[in-house]
Amino acid sequence: MLANLDTLAQLSEADFRKRFPNYSPPEDIKTEHVIDYGFAVVEQDPAPALAAGETMEPGALRLEGERVLQAWVVVPASETAVVAMFEQAVQARLNSTAFSRGYDSIATAISYAEEPAVPKFQNDGKAFRAWRSLVWAYAYEQLAAVKAGERTQPTVEDFLLELPELELPA
């Protein structure tokens, strides 16, 4: 993308070639190739660091000498996206913990809660079921606190450290 040095209006390389049909710049246009025509290649500022769920989009152009630089605008994550991100992380924690204890998932572990044939599996199932309830109750309680402004939004990593611990019977 090119920009007019006076107006900062953007112009594609193809449109530049149409506008100046008697000039044939190299295929890879650089500012030095178009500066005499009052244009410069648009350069991007370094990308900003993004928090989880944030995105970025091109921002305003500015002139620095004969360079045209484009800023980035950070777009905050929507509330829906933030909630989904935390829910996915919590569910992944539930599943990975169950997997680390020999079960396919939290759902598989819980399926043993009402099966008395093997007491160890039944006791594990009851413990996983209770833990899952405690985890989700805590997660939604903290989400409500964030929405109400009663606490700042933690990072996903920090939030996962806050979750109740699984206590399996011996």
pLDDT by 10-residue block (mean), the chain, 170 residues: 96 94 93 96 95 90 96 93 94 98 97 96 97 98 94 93 95
Give one DSSP letter per residue of 62-84, joined into a string.
EEETTEEEEEEEEEPPPHHHHHH
pLDDT at residue 98 in the model: 98
pLDDT, residue 52, reads 75
pLDDT reported for residue 53:
82
What's the Cα-to-Cα distance from 144 to each of 54, 79, 149, 150, 152, rounded to whole Å?
A: 21, 12, 9, 9, 11
Core vs surface per residue 57-74: b (16+ CB within 10 A) or e: eeeebeeeeeebbbebee
pTM summary value: 0.66
pLDDT of residue 157: 94
